[in-house]
Structure 1
Amino acid sequence: MDSVQLVFLALIQGLTEFLPISSSGHLILPSEVLGWQDQGLAFDVAVHVGSLLAVLGYFRHEVIALANAWVASLGGKSSAESRLAWFVVLATIPAGLAGVIFHDFIETNLRSVLVIAITTIVFGVLLGWADSTGKRTTSLQQMSLRQALIVGCCQALALIPGTSRSGITMTAALALGLERQAAARFSFLLSIPLIASSGGYKAVGLIGASAIVWEELLLGIAVAAVSAALCIHLFLAWIDRIGMWPFVIYRLVLGAVLLLLLY
């Protein structure tokens, strides 16, 4: 992979991981549409490491507070932070189980441009519906366990390319009445254990690999981390003003273009 492709793909990962437009779908498209060679497992792990570093860095104070509160809760000390920490843990379980059960089937049967086009459109429409009809009255502190678990179950659908992990979790949270900021922040916090576990699982496949070009991987990590951090900052700064409709329109246009390319 040449340096231009490497930087481009790392930018795609960083910019789309936390936007409701599907990072996995965008990473598949260059090889399917432009004829680029697959970026490979090592590079996939690297850009996910970059995204993980970005979200951990941006939410470092919240993550430390949640981790400390979660540990304290094991000793019987409950707080708003420990409650949210447990919500993150419990809401991650459905996607983790779905990944273990359906990973091979999805990799074999659903990584295609047609699937990406359909899911891009369908879940884009659902995002617009949730943003338009959701009450947006529930803060992150007011979230219930039921709401957290429903969002977690919906997150499992993101295994299907083109769905968007951030998109489906924000869609579910908005439909359940959460504020836009609360929906986005819970989605970002949910990404931490999922990206970490997914990256770790993929990294196991690199054990014993001999053809790893570390300079390329480090560049991919850096580009993905910087672009993802910038994306998180701008998204949270603008989301209350612009809402979800710019992303809905983007998804509909992208899905239509992909269908035109196929047919």
Structure 2
Amino acid sequence: MTVLGIVGCRIFEDEIVHVLVNDPEIERVYLVENEENRDLLQKLETTGFRPEILPFYEIRDKLKQNHEFSVVIQLQGMGLHVDPARLKSKTYTNVNIMSRLADGILLFYGLCGQAFSRIKKDFPYMGCPIKLLQERSVGEKNGPLEDCVAAALGSNARYREALRMHKDAFFFTPMWAANWRTVFSVGEELMEGFEFTPDHLRELGYRKVARVKTGLSYEPDFEKNIEEFAQYFDFEVMELEGSTEIAMESYSHIRKILSDPLKSPLRA
């Protein structure tokens, strides 16, 4: 029996569905029972998966009864990113729980404001490998992504270049576009001293919203959601080409470790 644990932000729902759909060896998918996994369940079901939604202790009991390759998923709220300390605390708790049943854990996160910059040092004796999303381009130094936008654009370098070229833009992936009102609490104070309002964003220099096209279509109203955001804030819409390369490569890497642990260093 081999078990892969996934702990991640809901912002990566589409990428998670994509990597699972492209892995023909998966026999079972389990979702930890909570509100954050609800939309992921619906997306997985549209692709033919029939995940089981159970409390953690019941998933553990189920895994003891089979010898198949299984994936266990625990998603976390998108709003956690505004507080790196809280994000780190909640994620570390879920990583500890997941490590009790998984042979390896893939974190669908970048560094996220340095919340996970010490994750290898903080889990030195974990009995299974823990991996963040990483860029693994030929000729480039392997390293964790800065955040979800860097992952969608394909590398930290592309992200930094996009920021340099478009300093006045918000970058939206399909999931950001689908959830911007909730995540940014429109009409309310998001953080002390910050209001997500048209006037305030213009004072900060924002004038555009960049539609990052990842090629995934699990959020069918991507363009509509972008237009709604642009209209609300009176922003110009622009497009940037993205990809699922980072998600696929990171998933493939942890799968190779699990399939041949003797040849793959646990924390490479």
TM-score, scaled relative to structure 1: 0.26
Q: Which has the higher contact order (CA 8 A, sep 6+)?
A: 1
Larger strand percent? 2
